[in-house]
Structure 1
């Protein structure tokens, strides 16, 4: 299953362009967080990680949606 993740850092920012791109990419489920990327606790990200099963693919619009640094991305992977 293709699982999408969208993140914006402020409540007033819109997720629309990210979620539209994720739907076009064939995501069957999309998790959305509206929270600072610097915060460690991202509820929907954590929910997505618990939802994923072997063989699933995470789809994001931009790499920085998963981590703010190369080190953070490496740790995640």
Structure 2
């Protein structure tokens, strides 16, 4: 599993801007930065546009202090 994640990481790092934009769109990726709190809020939503599951969506949210070393 770890080797698989490493492979995915290298593919993302080497991807063209157009491919990364397609990935962002497919994941419904959203990044919001709060400058006052210096926090980066990241969300990924799945299930967007699914016709089989009526309106069902799963959302992954995370928060990270940004920049991380200050």
Q: TM-score, normalised by structure 2?
A: 0.24
Bigger relative CO (Cα 8 Å, ≥ 6 apart): 1
Q: TM-score, normalised by structure 1?
A: 0.22
